[in-house]
Structures are given as structure tokens and as C-alpha cells.
Structure 1
Amino acid sequence: MTHQGTAAIAVEGLTKSYGGTPAVTDLTFTARAGAVTGFFGPNGAGKTTALKVIVGLAKATTGRVLVNGTPVERTRPDARTLGVAIEPCGAHPGRTGRAHLTSLAALAGLPRRRVAEVLELVELDRAAGRRVGAYSMGMRQRLGLAAALLGDPAILVLDEPANGLDPQGIRWLRALVREHAAAGGTVLLSSHLLSEAAHTVDDLVVIDRGRLLHAGPLSALDPATSLEDLFFDLTERSAP
């Protein structure tokens, strides 16, 4: 694990353009160890694009991302350091959940026993022998989280992890990420559901139209102001 309080992820002046059109512009923030950082914004704000650059799935147009002090493009993929769940779980619908995770564990050089451990952790052990094509959206979400957790990584980057989860599943997810942070790990998770932030995150990053609107600890906000009101005020002020 990284040391609690240090910046496990540092995003510095990140801009990502496609065909000359910026999806993210001059984005700067940090995600510290021992905390859950919520990455919030409306649909289409640029959250997924930014996360792909942060984990090395896309290359920044300008700016840089440091993971534990090293530029992300210089880091080797390591499931023990960085666990990622972005977009669909990526499993072939004809494969079982267990077979999918077993393949990923083998590719990452992880012990086979870890598959059973994460299946139990995400509460998919009873459905592990079923084909992924028969999974509900919530079950596929849990399978994606299981893949991210395979290496017991210090850093978790999760894109809209609550999508498809029922209220019980959302409470389970909240406990999972809080426990990871309490153990000294880093969690960066995106969402468009501000109502969940107060229960889950320590630090808040808000973007709209690819630009940073706010970054700071949740505790620094006026408790009399709801997050929905804050978000509305920020996005209204950023409107062209």
C-alpha cells in the first residue's frame, strides 16, 4: 500500500483532444492515498476520457499523469498496483465468470486461488459457473470490480461503479471502497450521482465540459449547502 495522505495519482494540466476537439482541457487534481476521491460531472463531461488517460489506456494530448510519482506512460501494467474498471466488464458472453477471471489472473501472473477470493468478495461466488451473457447489469458490474480487485491493488480507478447496482449493491460498494481507503489504499471513482458522494467520498472533484470546476476535501464545504446545489451553481457559472 502507498502511504496514507500522499498523492498516489497526480493529474497535471491534462488535455485530451480528438480530431482537434478537446474532450478534457487543462485538468489538474490529485487523488490521495487513504481516501476515496469522487470524480463527478454530468454525462458527457469528459470523466471516462480523463480516466482512460489516467490509467494509460489513452495518451494525453498535453499535460501528464503521475502514478506514485512516475509518469503513467512509463509504468508497466501491474494488477498489484493499479486495478481498473472502466466501461463494460469485457468478458465474452459465452464464458463463465470464473473462467473470465481465471484467464485474467493467469495473464497477470496471479495465483489461481485469488479468483475464488474475489468472487466471494464481490458476492458472485454462487453465480461464478454461469455464462456472463446471462448476467444482469449489476452482476456484470460486480464481475468488472472483481477483475479490478484481482491483484489486491493499492490504487483502484472505477468508472461509474454503481451503475446497475440495486440499493443493497450500492451499500455493499460503499463499504468496499471505504474499507480499501481505510487500509491505506487509493480510490478514484467517477459518478454522475452526487447523492452518493456524501456517503462515500472524502475528496470531491467536479468537471463539466471537460474543465475542472472544483477540487477539494468534502469536509471543507459548507454543511448547509447540498452537493446538488453546489453542482448546479458550479455548472451554471461555467456555462458559455
Structure 2
Amino acid sequence: MYASSIRARLALAEGSSQAAPMTTELILLRHGETEWNSLGRFQGHLDSPLSSEGLRQADLLAARLSSVSFQALYSSDLGRAVETARRIANRTGHALRQDGRLRERALGVLEGLTREEASQRHPEVFAEYSAGGPDFVVPRGESTSQRLRHALECLEELGARHAGERVVVVTHGGVLSLLFRHCLGIPFGTPRAFSVLNACWNQFDYHEGKFRLVTWGDVNHLRVSSRDDT
């Protein structure tokens, strides 16, 4: 009788464990450096090709991921993210799936301009943009809250679709910055006191509908000399 009770409790515990939600490991990468990145130009939904340094960064990301087991590869549909992800796919053999919700924030009239040019041509817009209000919509663009909503919708879907798996996502600095603030409860208007480097490696775990920051701004894979990379 006692042994039967023990077995029943063990079976119940095992069943509860199997039914528990599984954690999805999301490795979120920023694309490699672009020509406009090197010139300090706003990109938004406009595009700029990867620079020679950006191509090197993408290849180093691919090399690092070649020794990591993961189940799926996703990317923003903007060219700079696609090119970075394509180099990863060529190295790892994964199919690349693109999703427009992973795009950078649309910056409308500011796209293609440097900060100095933006402040001269659109001083009021640039001032509002710099203030960082979550609901300010750049003319012909979007707000940070709109972009975050799109990104969270996509990442939550991936988290549910790939429960218990590891997924690699190539996205943009603005999206990563928003997710960082979202996870840590940092107000959008607070001046940024953290870096979002090109080709950086960041890990967020998704569990029971919530994101948890695990790794931020890892660029150890970029610390390879040109001689070592040949």
C-alpha cells in the first residue's frame, strides 16, 4: 500500500515535470558594420551594404556559431541583417527565415542623415527623437513603442514555436536596445548608458511568456587578428 502510494506520487511528479513550460534560448545578434554605420548615418528602413569590416564581423559570427548547436535561424528582412545571416547560414547549413517584424525602427525623414545633418534640416523632429519619448512618431517613420511591439510579437512567437530549443536571430541595434530596456525596466527617455556594438552576441531566455537577459554585448568572437582570420 505504502509502495503504491510512493509510485503514484512519483508518477504525478514526473507528469508535472513533463508538462512544465520549457525555456527557449534566443541568441540575438546585431548585423555587421555597414558603410553608413561607419559614417554615422541613420539607417532605419533604408539600407547600406556591409563594410569590409562588417563582412569580417559576419564571418567571425558564423565561425563562432559553427560550433554551437541551434535549431533555427531567423533574420530581419533588411539587407544588412540578411547578408549577416546568410553568411551564418552558409557556414552552419541552416535555412534562413526572414521576418519584417525584426526590422530596425523606421526613422522616416531622418534616414540617410548624420546627426548633425538631422539637427540642421529637421531641428524639431531631431529634438523630439533625441528626447526618446516612446510614443513620438518620426514623420514617415514610427515610434519606439510601435517597433518594440512588433519585435516582441515576433520573438514571443519564436519562443513558443521553438520551446526548449536554441534559436539564432539577426536583428538591429535599435531592436536590441529596446529589448534590453524592456527586460530591465529602463525608461525609454533615459539616456543610453550601454553599448550595442555591431555583430554583438546577446542571449535572452523566453520562459512562461517572459524574457530574461542572460548575456549582453559579447564580442569575444571579434577579437581575432587579421592574420588569425585568414
TM-score norm. by structure 1 comes to: 0.29
Larger radius of gyration: 2
Higher helix share: 2
Higher strand share: 1
TM-score norm. by structure 2 comes to: 0.30
